[in-house]
Amino acid sequence: MLRRTLASPQAGLVLVILLLAGVLAVFAGSHVDARSGLTVNNFLNSYTLIQTATDASFFAIMAVGATIVIISGGIDLSVGSIYAFAGVTTAMVLRSVGQLDPLTMFALGLAVSVGIGLACGAINGALVVGLGVHPFIITLGTMWIIRGVAFVSSNAESILLPRALTNVAKASLGLNEALYPVPMLLMIIVAVVGGIYLLHTVGGRQVFAVGGNPEASRFSGVPIGRVKIAVFVLSGLTAGLAAFMGASFYGSASCADATGYELYVIASAVVGGASLSGGKGSAAGALLGAVLIVLIRQSIRTLHFDQNYEWIIIGCAIIIAVVLDQASARFTVRRLSAGGK
């Protein structure tokens, strides 16, 4: 059991994250806390660690849904646009209804944001299955369409959300008032639910089957079209959920929100062990991949590198992850072939 755990892709990711965190702890320096008078590491402290998790949470939540799509053999480039559209729609609806009690306002905002995400995901899935066009092309098109709709519908305004939602998103939950663990907790919950879905449900096994061998799945009676629609619906759902939490946390929504998040989401999934050829990936890997991406960004700021290097490093990380995945797959095939002789 221990050997299997240490050999898993997640164990390697955890090791890399710990090594990178160690580098940050060494080079970040320290300061004297004004309240306690104690010397505190600039990275290894509760505020910075929770802030790092918060930074990762918004695209880590989407990365779980995007990973499910990638496992099925597809890809979703529209998640950032769905995030923006769900956010501005939620803000406009809550602005139009006026004053409501906090619980009703929270429930309405969540329903609108998640509903928009589900609808956009269902449209993506229906287009992919109905038109028979590769998901890359479909979601590339809907990426622009959905963000354009968000731009037009919001008149390119930044729309404020009710304070009641921000109070929930920034609840300290008994911690220091400057600590906001709610986005981090939601990220963990989504990763756990995503992992249970993939590993312990019929739908999850069908996703792996369709991504691993579509022809065998078809002959086995797996409803491939339904599975493909379902994975895009789940991706849209996580984008809507992330949009609700992000807009609530920052107190406003704009059609420019989550611009470029597609890179971070796909990078998190791929670095987390998802194979772009399908049939491989995990929700835990998506979460860890998102944390690693955020730590890379943090390292660039801490070590005072040019911010533009962030894109170069993340791009290299994607290429390296794909190359290692292909090398691992070839090694497995050779080992199985040798074992059969």
| Average of per-residue pLDDT across 147-152 | 96
Q: Taking 60 as the threshold, does the pLDDT of residue 4 lie above it? A: no
Q: Taking 90 as the threshold, does the pLDDT of residue 187 lie above it? A: yes
6-18 pLDDT, tens digit per residue, is 556 677 788 888 8
Q: How many CB atoms lie within 10 A of CB 50?
A: 18
223-266 pLDDT, tens digit per residue, is 999 999 999 999 999 999 999 999 999 999 999 999 988 888 99
Chain CA centroid to CA 21, Å: 21
User: What does the pLDDT read at residue 148?
Assistant: 96
Cα dihedral sign, 69-308-259-131: negative
| Average of per-residue pLDDT across 93-115 | 92
Average pLDDT of the chain to the nearest whole number: 88
Residue with tokens 């597809």: 74
User: What does the pLDDT read at residue 341?
Assistant: 54
Q: Taking 70 as the threshold, does the pLDDT of residue 328 lie above it? A: no
User: What does the pLDDT read at residue 225?
Assistant: 94
| Average of per-residue pLDDT across 289-301 | 86
Q: What angle do CA 56, 58, 224 make, to 5 degrees?
A: 110
Measure the CA–CA gap between 56 and 66, rounded to whole angstroms. Answer: 15
Measure the CA–CA gap between 332 and 122, rounded to whole angstroms. Answer: 36
Q: Taking 90 as the threshold, does the pLDDT of residue 192 lie above it? A: yes
Closest by Cα among 57, 40, 63, 43 to 299: 43
258-285 pLDDT, tens digit per residue, is 998 888 899 899 888 898 889 999 999 9
Residue type, 39: T
**Domains defined along the chain, listed by start:** 45-329 (1.10.3470)
Q: Taking 80 as the threshold, does the pLDDT of residue 196 lie above it? A: yes
Give 189-210 as a DSSP string: HHHHHHHHHHHHSHHHHHHHHH
